[in-house]
Amino acid sequence: MTAYDAIVLAGGAARRLGGADKPAVRVGGRRLLDRVLAACPDARTTVVVGDRRPTARAVTWAREVPPGGGPLAALAAGVRHTSAERVLVLSADLPFLGGETVAGLLAASGRQGAEGALCTDENGRDQPLVAVYRGEPLRRELALLAVEHGGLGGLPLRLLTQELTLCRVAAGPLASFDCDTWEDIASARARIREHGTVLDEWITAVKEELGIDLDVDTGLLLDLARDAAHGVARPAAPLTTFLVGYAAAKASGDGGGPEAVAEAARKATALALRWADENETP
């Protein structure tokens, strides 16, 4: 993937949330800020502009001058800590942003003559805080705007984007879904619990909570739980998956990983099937 730095804007008064600490609001058990950070794990440098707070991974902190000076002032504060040729710029309230959207923006920003790429929402409106900008034009225009207006405080983002040659990327209705109100938060929390996504969301939240960076075949573990429940007894399902995890953790000390989980699950599944066969064999 193209090398890039990331800037996440996590300031603002959140007036429509009654002044709540919006980046710390949880959706699916995870802070909004952490959900955004998870979408750009391979950024060379990640800068969060806003008040310092706990995060799921290490970041560089910055603060706009004056505090609360708006998105352009915050962006300028973050850019000072970046050096990559491309800069991913995100707001901290995007619960459904994924790595595929980031990859699409990076690819689009590399088109001939482009000075960046930004998402458009389902109504075709530009989303300048879901975007990748080329570093040199971004720094140039921020500097020019600061000179023209005597500073960047209070200036709207459109003053920047209208000066840049940007590609538009339609990334789907959820990629740029942001949480400005408690109704938005409620909607995001409801979507997280939809049948098609709830398991993946739960597993991701558990791994983050436990500090586990391990991709495992959840389908394999679910099959194991099913076989243990049906072939042995229902309480055997959670106990067996726990023991598989324990065995994999021991194996990880010898260089294991996802393969260790898969191997332990295969052994336990075979045992559960043999156990079940005994009930059917005369």
17 to 23, 69, 83, 178, 183: CA distances (angstroms): 11, 19, 34, 13, 9
The encoded tokens of residue 172 equal: 């789907």
Of 266, 274, 271, 273, the closest CA to residue 216 belongs to: 266
Total-model pTM: 0.81
Q: For residues 142 and 136, what is the distance between their CA atoms, to the nearest angstrom?
A: 10
Of 55, 46, 49, the closest CA to residue 24 belongs to: 55
Q: What average pLDDT score do residues 218-228 get? A: 85
Instruction: Summarize pLDDT for 95-142 with one digit per residue, the tens.
Output: 999 999 999 999 999 999 999 999 998 888 999 999 999 999 999 999
Q: For residues 59 and 42, what is the distance between their CA atoms, to the nearest angstrom?
A: 12
Whole-number pLDDT of residue 157: 94
Q: For the ranges 6-10, 73-77, 90-94, 222-226, which has the lowest average pLDDT?
A: 222-226
Instruction: Summarize pLDDT for 138-162 with one digit per residue, the tens.
Output: 999 999 999 999 999 999 999 999 9
**Helices (H) then strands (E): counts for the chain:** 10, 9
Average pLDDT, the chain: 88
Q: What average pLDDT score do residues 170-192 get? A: 88
Start-to-end Cα distance in the chain: 58
How many Cα atoms within 13 Å fall on the side-chain side of residue 32? 25
More confident position, 253 or 110: 110
Q: Does the pLDDT at position 250 exceed 80?
A: no
Q: Are strands 116-120 and 126-134 parallel, antiparallel or unpaired?
A: antiparallel
Q: For the ranges 21-35, 74-88, 176-190, 210-224, which has the lowest average pLDDT?
A: 210-224
- Sequence-separated (6 or more) residues with CB below 8 Å from residue 189: 27, 28
Q: Does the pLDDT at position 266 exceed 90?
A: no
Q: Does the pLDDT at position 90 exceed 90?
A: yes
- List, in sequence order, the alpha helices (H) in the chain: 32-37, 71-79, 99-109, 135-149, 158-161, 182-192, 198-210, 218-231, 236-252, 258-280
Q: Does the pLDDT at position 255 exceed 60?
A: no
Instruction: Summarize pLDDT for 1-52 with one digit per residue, the tens.
Output: 689 999 999 987 677 777 778 899 999 889 999 999 999 999 999 999 999 9
